[in-house]
Structure formats: structure tokens, C-alpha cells
């Protein structure tokens, strides 16, 4: 038995390697999928005297897009968000993550604003509650306030066509 122990350990490591090679490194599983979206009340970026809470979106399918003016990848996905906003397919709420208000306002002014509104999350607390690893991240939330899917990294035309839009069609039925 002692002679076969190294062989057994090696075989076990090979199994883990094969499993690991089949995983998508961009897919980071979220423990929040299928659970109620974390609640918060945060000021609105361009109307700091007003606040937003996810409860305001109950009854609607919507996207929560985590972004920041300092985020290079956010620039990549921004044209897609603008296009989605033009189509008026789904309400989008922006979560301005660990950013300066003035920099965020200037960025939206220059780049265009696809959001129904953007929420201020200076400390990153809301992002932490949603399990944000980095920006951008996008959460698809159903009309009951349940997180249905999480997109990690920038949305791409392929993700929009193959995943997001079909999910939206199902949720709106």
C-alpha cells in the first residue's frame, strides 16, 4: 500500500487539474444568486438630497451595474450600456463604487449617462454586501427583488446576445 500512495496522490491531483481547466476563470460564483438582493438606502449621485432603495424597484426586472470613473473596463462596456438604455429594454441603476462624486458626474457627462439613476457608494459598503470583487459587475434582479444572475467584468456584445437578452425575455414573460 505504501508503494501506491504517491500514485494515488498524483491521480487525485490530476483529477483536480482536469476539473480546474474546465472552469471559466471569468465566472465567479455568487452566493447571492437566487436570494433577495441586499437592501440599502443610499444617496443618488446627482440628487444627494434624495435616496434610493432596491425596494423602489419591486415589480420590475432591472439591472444594477457597478461602475467607477477610475475603472478602465467600465469604459469598454459603457457603449453597450448606452445602447441598451436607448432600447429601453430594462431599467438600469448605476452603483458608483468607491469614487469621487465630482469625477463620477464628469465621467457621465462626457461619456453619456445610461442609468435611470446612479447611487453613491463612497465607502464600498453596498458593493461588499453584493459580493463585488471589482468593477464593473452587473446584477440582473427580477421583479420580486431576487438576484437572478451576476456578470463579472465588462458586458460584451456576445454576453448581451447570448445571455442577458435571453434571460430578460424569460423574466418578462
The stretch 29-36 carries a mean pLDDT of 82
| pLDDT interval class at 23 (50, 70, 90) | low
**Grid cell listed for 21:** 481547466
| pLDDT interval class at 13 (50, 70, 90) | confident
pLDDT digits (tens, 9 = 90+) for 115-139: 999 999 999 999 999 999 889 999 9
Coil, strand, or helix at residue 164?
helix
Residue 123 near residue 11 (C-beta atoms within 8 A)? no
Closest to 74 (Cα-Cα) out of 19, 151, 141: 151
What rounded mean pLDDT belongs to the chain?
91
Domains of the chain: 36-172 (3.40.30.10)
Amino acid at each position: 500500500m505504501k508503494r501506491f500512495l504517491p500514485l494515488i496522490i498524483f491521480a487525485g491531483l490530476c483529477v483536480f487539474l482536469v476539473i480546474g481547466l474546465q472552469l471559466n476563470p471569468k465566472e465567479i460564483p455568487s452566493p447571492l444568486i437566487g436570494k433577495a438582493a441586499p437592501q440599502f438606502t443610499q444617496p443618488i449621485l446627482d440628487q444627494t438630497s434624495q435616496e434610493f432603495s432596491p425596494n423602489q424597484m419591486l415589480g420590475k426586472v432591472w439591472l444594477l451595474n457597478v461602475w467607477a470613473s477610475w475603472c478602465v473596463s467600465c469604459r469598454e462596456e459603457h457603449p453597450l450600456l448606452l445602447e441598451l438604455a436607448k432600447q429601453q429594454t430594462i431599467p438600469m441603476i448605476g452603483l458608483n463604487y468607491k469614487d469621487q462624486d465630482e469625477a463620477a458626474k464628469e465621467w457621465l457627462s462626457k461619456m453619456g449617462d445610461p442609468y435611470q439613476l446612479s447611487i453613491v457608494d463612497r465607502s464600498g459598503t453596498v458593493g461588499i454586501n453584493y459580493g463585488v470583487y471589482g468593477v464593473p459587475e452587473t446584477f440582473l434582479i427580477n421583479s420580486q427583488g431576487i438576484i437572478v444572475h451576476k456578470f463579472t467584468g465588462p458586458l460584451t456584445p456576445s454576453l448581451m446576445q447570448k445571455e442577458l437578452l435571453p434571460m430578460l425575455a424569460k423574466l418578462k414573460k
